[in-house]
Amino acid sequence: MSITTDPAADRAVKARHRAIWAMGDYPEVAIELIPELGPVLVEAAGIRAGDRVLDVAAGTGNVAVPAAATGARVVASDLTPELFVAGREYAARHGVTVDWQEADAENLPYTDGSFDVVTSCVGVMFAPDHQRSADELVRVVRPGGTIGLISWTPTGFVGELFRTMKPYAPPSPPGAQPPPLWGDEDHVRALLGDRVTDVTARRQVLSTDRWATPEAWTAYWKTVYGPTMAIYRHIADNTDDVAALDADLTALAARYDRGTPGAMVLNWEYLVVTARRSA
């Protein structure tokens, strides 16, 4: 069941989420900063030529494009079709065809068992109703088919980022759960339940050296990443809060910096989960 039983309220939540991911430059984040996550998930899920693949909350195609490169038939679905412009360009540069479709992860417009593999890479984790989204992932994959997920962990850099931003953010919808919970193995196992078998989970790290200093990371992140931009817009009239959030984000990056002065290195931990739908 949805976190709200009011259809109008549910539509408002979805409209707000769509607007958040449409602002800024998420294609820059997805294509330039985290492109390696897609091939990791394609390999983990065992995607191969001829497979029918659904990538949920696909964004600009981090998984969809490398999946299509294997010869799989890929549908990339997302609540925010504004991202498909960059996604289509990304697919064209790699010489592959992807079917881009607007769809809500909590209410996928596909029949039961339509796909051999269903994936989501740091995508479905942001749908507010975790159980409803998990139910949909299980429903649309065929018996014996594979579910593959990559999610930022609660204890890693991105999980800490969301905890750092939370005091400045507007209230979440009643019942909404924190996105990084999808990076907790026990949480994902509970969501999928006994409807799946052969669950595997492993933590990995993405390292980035894109920014020279923590201050540079903060300046970049507050202008390209939709969730962070939305919070800054929420507090824009309170200069003290803006300065405090600047300081908190910079301190977070400094705490995670594993580089040298003037050459910052950040390690972003994520969880890779695969599971097979029970027959």
The number of helix segments (H) and strand segments (E) in the chain equals: 11, 7
Token reading at 163: 């905890």
Q: How much is the pTM?
A: 0.95
Q: Are strands 115-121 and 266-277 parallel, antiparallel or unpaired?
A: unpaired
pLDDT for 259? 97
Instruction: Check whether 93 has a pLDDT greater than 50.
Output: yes
Task: Return contacts of 85-89, CB within 8 angstroms, 24+ apart.
Answer: 86/27, 86/31, 86/60, 87/27, 87/58, 87/59, 87/60, 87/61
pLDDT for 86 equals 97
* Domain residue ranges in the chain: 7-206+269-277
> Which is the CATH superfamily of the domain at 7-206+269-277?
Vaccinia Virus protein VP39 (3.40.50.150)
Give the pLDDT mean for 226-244. 98
Given a cut of 50, whether residue 68 has pLDDT beyond it is yes
Mean pLDDT, range 181-190, rounded to an integer: 98
Residue-wise pLDDT for 159-179, tens only, equals 999 999 999 999 988 889 999
What is the percent of the chain where pLDDT is above 90? 94
Question: What does the block give as tokens for 192?
Answer: 């999928």
For the chain, how many residues are written?
279
Position 106 pLDDT exceeds 50:
yes
Residue 262 has pLDDT above 80, yes or no: yes
Give CA–CA dist 157/152, Å, rounded. 8
- Average pLDDT value for the chain: 96
Chain Cα centroid distance, residue 245:
23
Tell me the pLDDT tens digit for each residue of 4-57: 568 898 899 999 999 999 999 999 999 999 999 999 999 999 999 999 999 999
